[in-house]
Amino acid sequence: MFRKVSGPQEDRLVAFDPDRPAVEAARRDPTRFETLYRRYMAQVYSFAVYQLADHHAAEDLTEQVFLQALAALPRFQERPRGDGASSFRSWLFRIARNLASNERRASRRHPTAPIDAAQEVAGADDPAASAVQRDEAARAWAAVARLPDDRRTAVILRFVDEMPVSEIAAVLGRSEGAVRVLLHRALRSVADELRAAEGRGALPAPAPAPSDPGRAS
Global confidence as pTM: 0.71
**Hey, where are the domains in the chain?**
13-200
| Beta strand segments in 7-74, E | 11-15
pLDDT tens per residue across all 217 residues of the chain: 444 444 443 333 345 789 999 999 999 999 999 999 999 999 999 999 999 988 999 999 999 999 999 999 998 988 876 555 689 999 999 999 999 999 888 775 545 544 455 555 544 455 544 565 667 777 888 889 999 999 999 999 998 898 999 999 999 999 999 999 999 999 999 888 888 877 766 544 444 444 443 444 3
Hey, which CATH number is domain 13-200, 1.25.40.10, 1.10.760.10, 1.10.1740.10, 3.30.230.10? 1.10.1740.10
Q: CA 162: distance to chain centroid?
A: 9
Q: What is the pLDDT of residues 7-30, one digit of tens each?
A: 443 333 345 789 999 999 999 999
- Rounded Cα distance between 60 and 48, Å, is 9
Backbone angles phi, psi at 12, to 5 degrees: -145, 160
